[in-house]
Amino acid sequence: MKINIEQALGKNVKVTDKKLVTVIRTNKVNFYYTRDKKTLDNINITISEKKVTAFIGPSGCGKSTLLRCFNRMNDLIPGIKMTGKIEIEGNDIYSPDVKLEDLRKKIGMVFQKSNPFPMTIWENVAFGPKVNGITSKSDLDEIVEFSLTQGDLWKEVKDRLNSSAMDLSGGQQQRLCIARALANKPDIILMDEPASSLDPISTNKIEETISELKNNYTIVIVTHNMQQAARVSEYTAFMMTGNIIEFNETSALFTNPKEKLTEDYITGRFG
Amino acid sequence: MNRIKTFWKKGDPYILFTGAGLIFSLGMVLLMLGIIIFNGMDAFWPKNISEYQLKDGSKFLGEIWDTKKDYLLKPDSTYGVVEEVKVKTGNRDIYGSDFKWLYHKDIKTSNEPQEAVCFERWEYGNFYGFINAVSIFDKRYTFQNKDLIEKANEALAKTLDNRNKEENIEKKLNDLMRPLSEVQRELSLIDINENVNKIKVEKLNKKAEELQNKIEKAYTKLSNDLTKLKEEDSQIIVSVTIADGTNIDVPMSKVLRLYQPNKMSTISKSFFYVKKVWEFLIADPRESNTEGGVFPAIFGTVIMVLLMSIVVVPFGVAAAIYLNEYAKQGFLIRMIRLSVVNLAGVPSIVFGIFGLGFFIYIIGGTIDQLFFTSELPSPTFGTGGILWASLTLALLTLPVVVVATEEGLLAVPKENKQGALALGATKWQMIRKVVLPSIMPGILTGMILAISRGAGEVAPLMITGVVKLAPALPFDLSFPFLHLDRKFMHLGFHIYDVGFQSPNVEAALPMVYTTAFLLVLIVVTLNLVAIYFRNNLRNKYKSSTF
Ligand SMILES: Nc1ncnc2c1ncn2[C@@H]1O[C@H](COP(=O)(O)OP(=O)(O)O)[C@@H](O)[C@H]1O
Ligand SMILES: [Mg+2]
């Protein structure tokens, strides 16, 4: 296990000494789905611009919940409660004058289960820009091409933009979802186990896409696959039962964990 | 013992039982359809005319409609079985009824005479006999003319042509008189005690006089033409020898069609059949609906179903979307959902009564008070009409649409909804762009069910606007084209009326089957159209799970 991770890290780009800019900062975040069950416990984390940050940890530890706090997708669930503060680019996203639609436009999200809409490929990618007010066909065409190129899908679909997105393979669908998120020109992309339901080749392709994207976007990725975290991310947070146990540069966290729990987890002793 | 146990456990008897259930249900449906189709299709086939001579010397001429065995009380107080044949002898105005039961044992001879003619008449049903002579104006052709039947057809063509002309003239007369009769109607409604009205009365009187003068010349000319045509008609006569040998003079203008079935080949019978089916589909009914066509009923049914769909689908879909997407789920919403579903179980006549009380009396009455005061006291919307009938049926089919749409909504993956929201869509944008397209098949399923239910309902329609015979179609070329206030005809009611309310139910029986067949066909067609659209949508949005 350890060896695998080191191999994966070998591919990793070492964090350069460039000055880091904080994009997301959480302050004492607690989260409850029901009143008596704390799902996130005192989360304090800073996520840097144009880096890939991975959340790892055993299933049910709250990775997705934390991720969904960043674009307020949890707001949809009735009965939730959150305390603490989350700032994105310096603004408190839970303050009452934040417009949810604007926030979500700025923060793209890719889900665990690929969710292309039952429309054509073109319509899927143009969906975000359209609901955000872009109407000109040529502008949309341009955005669609740009986003699909960035999502590494343009070559495969450029001749069938008007066929149904449901006809694509699983991996292509997931890359379409990435492209669809990119079409809004977001600053941040949240990915919740984007490759967990894909075959190894498609997974590989998604990881390549992520590596290309990190030059332009801040990416937060949830994964339960440690090799994946090692391969794609620069920073990794290890979570357990609602707490962040350890947060560090990926190479440091995997080669030299400071916490016993982290070491146990990455050496496969539990989880 | 053990083997019996495993036999029951394995469930073979249950497979048999469920299979039998399926076969029984399918069998009953097929049997019903079979009977309707067989009887319905058979109705227009020209039947041969048989001539019977009975032992007592009496003679009958007509079509065989039925044979049966009957029990007859013999003089020694025992019962004997006799065979009977039911003959449609027609000539109702002479014999008093259309049918005659003949005992087999009484029949001396029977044959199918080549020359026997069946006259379809505009009134009093068919007339059977042999052509003896034809008079056209002052010319008279008798059996010495070999082409007597051609002469008869010539005479018929002439009277049919006259009939067309007469109808045209009558229509023109009506149009001509309309302004005048409107003025007269206004006059009759005015209460002349009041001073103000006296001036108005004078004005109206003057207007009436002017109108009268204006149309007089045209009126005289038209009525002269009409009299001339009627005069012509009275000189075209066919003399028919009926079964017992007497000669009857039948004015040809009373005849609609004549043919000699015993002489016709299968091919010409087929042509005849097609022509009759066509007439059935496009003609107006005759003889209190027992003859002629059902076009107004087809038209009324289709328009009503369309109006109903136009109303029920948007409302049903909106209600379902609110219930599922916006409302806070809880006890109240559960109760509402339960009530909506249970609405489907309310007897349809209850909906009819509600339609009468609420739509017609309250809403229709108010509309009349506000917008049609000049027509009062005769109601415009305050009486049954196609709008109110459609609305009543819309209400009746609402639960079906709501339930089908809700099922569709539940099948939309929540990932898709969240995906849309995560892209910055508002809830409404998400519903309109992601949810609505994917539930279209479900909505159409609801519509299909609503159509099936709505097209077959009769009870609520009877008190909200269906009539036995509507004077005009609800849609025509006069402004505003769609006349929502008009009464209309409906195939379902037509079946009830012709089959059970008409004075001559026996003769109308084929009509009942044909109309039933047609109603089934229309419902199936409307459904097929909706299914076609649904399949198209399904192909477009492959993810949906219907
Ligand atoms: N919608 C929800 N309602 C209630 N509890 C939830 C909901 N979603 C997740 N949870 C619970 O919150 C905990 C954290 O879930 P999650 O963030 O999805 O974990 P992870 O993504 O790390 O596997 C789990 O115990 C899970 O059962
Ligand atoms: Mg998760």
Q: Which residue, among B497, B480, B401, has the nearest Cα to B442 in the 3D structure? A: B401
**What CATH number matches the domain at A5-266, 3.40.50.300, 1.10.10.10, 1.20.120.1200, 3.40.1710.10?**
3.40.50.300
Q: What is the mean pLDDT of residues B372-383?
A: 75
Provide the token pair at B434.
Answer: 């992601």
B455, pLDDT greater than 50: yes
pLDDT at position B545 is 38
Contact B423 A131 (CB under 8 A): yes
Contact A111 B419 (CB under 8 A): yes
pLDDT band at A236 (very low <50, low <70, confident <90, very high): very high
A139-157 per-position pLDDT tens digit: 999 999 999 998 889 999 9
Chain A: closest CA distance from residue B438 (Å):
7
B542, pLDDT greater than 60: no
A190, pLDDT greater than 90: yes
Best of A29, A38, A39, A265 for a ligand 1 pocket test (most atoms within 8 Å of beta carbon): A39
Helix B436-456 to helix B386-411 angle (10° resolution) is 140
Location of structure tokens 């502008």: A139
Provide the token pair at A119.
Answer: 């429309």
Residue type, A206: I
DSSP one-letter string for chain A: -HHHHHHHHHHSPPPP-SPP-EEEEEEEEEEEEETTEEEEEEEEEEEETT-EEEEE-STTSSHHHHHHHHTTGGGGSTT-EEEEEEEETTEETTSTT--HHHHHHHEEEE-SS----SSBHHHHHHHHHHHTT---HHHHHHHHHHHHHHTT-HHHHGGGTTSBGGGS-HHHHHHHHHHHHHTT--SEEEEESTTTTS-HHHHHHHHHHHHHHTTTSEEEEE-S-HHHHHHH-SEEEEEETTEEEEEEEHHHHHHS-SSHHHHHHHTTS--
CA A150 to chain centre: 16
Enumerate the residues of chain B whose CB falls inside 8 A of the CB of residue A115.
Answer: 413, 415-416, 418-419
B173, pLDDT greater than 80: yes
In a domain, B72, yes or no: no
A271, pLDDT greater than 60: no
Whether the bond between A78 and the residue before it is cis, its omega within 30 degrees of 0, is no
State how far the Cα of B148 lies from the Cα of B158, in Å rounded to an integer. 15
Q: How crowded is residue A127: how many other Cβ atoms within 10 Å of its Cβ?
A: 25
Q: Is the Cβ atom of A242 under 6 angstroms away from ligand 1? A: no
Chain B: closest CA distance from residue A265 (Å):
30
Indicate left, alpha or beta for B333 from its phi (over 0: left) and psi (-120 to 50: alpha): alpha
**More confident: A19 or A8:** A19
Share of chain B above pLDDT 90, in %: 28
A258, pLDDT greater than 80: yes
Q: What is the mean pLDDT of residues A93-101?
A: 91
Query: Lowest mean pLDDT: which of B175-179, B226-230, B457-461?
Result: B175-179
How many CA atoms lie less than 13 Å away from B421 in the CB half-sphere?
A: 19
Contact B419 A132 (CB under 8 A): no
State how far the Cα of A50 lies from the Cα of A13, in Å rounded to an integer. 13
Do residues A145 and A122 touch, judged by C-beta distance below 8 A? no
Out of A6-20, A221-235, B502-516, the most confident range is A221-235
Across B216-253, b (16+ Cβ under 10 Å) vs e yields eeebeebeebbeebeebbeebbbbbbbbeeeeeebebb
- Structurally, chain B folds into a number of domains equal to 2
Query: What distances in angstroms separate CA B408 from CA A28, B381, B463, B535, one per listed residue?
Result: 42, 37, 34, 15
Contact B425 A131 (CB under 8 A): yes
Residue type, B35: I
- Exposed, middle or buried by CB within 10 Å (0-12, 13-18, 19+), for B30? exposed
State how far the Cα of A261 lies from the Cα of A247, in Å rounded to an integer. 12
State how far the Cα of A236 lies from the Cα of A229, in Å rounded to an integer. 7
* SS3 at position B60: strand
pLDDT band at A94 (very low <50, low <70, confident <90, very high): very high
**Chain B residues bordering chain A (beta-carbon distance below 8 Å):** 328, 413, 415-416, 418-426, 429, 433-434, 437-438, 540-544
Segment (H or E) for B22:
helix B12-42
Which atom of ligand 1 is least distant from the CA of A61? 22
Residue type, B39: N
State how far the Cα of B156 lies from the Cα of B291, in Å rounded to an integer. 19
β-partners of residue B59 are B53
Best of A34, A36, A43, A65 for a ligand 1 pocket test (most atoms within 8 Å of beta carbon): A65
| Parallel, antiparallel or unpaired: strands B255-259 and B285-286 | unpaired
Contact B426 A131 (CB under 8 A): yes
Q: Is the Cβ atom of A43 under 6 angstroms away from ligand 1? A: no
Provide the token pair at A23.
Answer: 């994009």
pLDDT band at B544 (very low <50, low <70, confident <90, very high): very low
**More confident: B222 or A2:** B222
Helix A121-131 to helix A137-150 angle (10° resolution) is 110
Pick the residue from chain B with its C-alpha nearest to A129: B423
Best of A61, A77, A191 for a ligand 1 pocket test (most atoms within 8 Å of beta carbon): A61
- C-alpha torsion sign, points B193, B195, B201, B202: positive
> Which residue's CA lies nearest to atom 9 of ligand 1?
A65
pLDDT band at B293 (very low <50, low <70, confident <90, very high): confident
Q: Which residue, among A25, A34, A27, A59, has the nearest Cα to A242 in the 3D structure? A: A59
pLDDT at position B345 is 86
pLDDT at position A179 is 94
Among partner residues A113, A166, A167, which is closest to B415 by beta-carbon distance? Answer: A113
Note down the domain range covering B336.
295-540
What is the value of ipTM here, to two decimals?
0.90
- Exposed, middle or buried by CB within 10 Å (0-12, 13-18, 19+), for B152? buried
Out of A265-269, B63-67, B307-311, B482-486, the most confident range is B307-311
Q: What is the mean pLDDT of residues B502-530?
A: 84
Contact A105 B424 (CB under 8 A): yes
> Residue B398 is part of a domain; what is its CATH number?
1.10.3720.10
Provide the token pair at A91.
Answer: 């603004």
B525-539 per-position pLDDT tens digit: 888 888 888 888 777
Q: What is the mean pLDDT of residues A207-216?
A: 90
β-partners of residue A208 are none
Please give the backbone phi and psi of residue B367, each rounded to the nearest 5 degrees, phi first: -60, -45
B90, pLDDT greater than 70: yes
Share of chain B above pLDDT 70, in %: 96
CA B420 to chain centre: 49
Q: What is the mean pLDDT of residues B455-470?
A: 87
Largest Cα–Cα distance in chain B?
106
Q: What is the mean pLDDT of residues B189-195?
A: 65
pLDDT at position B529 is 85
B480, pLDDT greater than 70: yes
Q: How crowded is residue B170: how many other Cβ atoms within 10 Å of its Cβ?
A: 12
Q: Which residue, among A53, A51, A99, A60, has the nearest Cα to A220 in the 3D structure? A: A53
**More confident: A174 or B377:** A174
State how far the Cα of B192 lies from the Cα of B196, in Å rounded to an integer. 9
pLDDT at position A9 is 64
Share of chain A above pLDDT 90, in %: 65
| Strands in B242-296 per DSSP E | 247-251, 255-259, 285-286, 291-292
B381-399 per-position pLDDT tens digit: 878 889 999 999 999 999 9
Segment (H or E) for B408:
helix B386-411
pLDDT at position B380 is 76
Q: How crowded is residue B540: how many other Cβ atoms within 10 Å of its Cβ?
A: 16
pLDDT at position B546 is 36
Provide the token pair at B233.
Answer: 């008609």
Contact A117 B419 (CB under 8 A): yes
Chain B: closest CA distance from residue A211 (Å):
22
In a domain, B270, yes or no: no
A8, pLDDT greater than 70: no
Q: Is the Cβ atom of A61 under 6 angstroms away from ligand 1? A: yes
pLDDT at position A7 is 64
Query: What distances in angstroms separate CA A241 from CA A41, A57, A68, B121, one per listed residue?
Result: 8, 9, 16, 92
Query: What distances in angstroms separate CA A123 from CA A144, A161, A164, B538, one per listed residue?
Result: 9, 8, 9, 17
> Which residue's CA lies nearest to atom 19 of ligand 1?
A60
> Which residue's CA lies nearest to atom 26 of ligand 1?
A60
pLDDT at position A10 is 58
**In degrees, to the nearest 5, what angle opens at C-alpha B62 toward C-alphas B60 and B68?**
90
Among partner residues A115, A132, A184, which is closest to B413 by beta-carbon distance? Answer: A115
β-partners of residue B133 are B142, B239
How many CA atoms lie less than 13 Å away from A14 in the CB half-sphere?
A: 3
Count of residues making up chain A: 271
Q: Is the Cβ atom of A59 under 6 angstroms away from ligand 1? A: yes
State how far the Cα of A106 lies from the Cα of A181, in Å rounded to an integer. 10
In a domain, B457, yes or no: yes
> Which residue's CA lies nearest to atom 8 of ligand 1?
A65
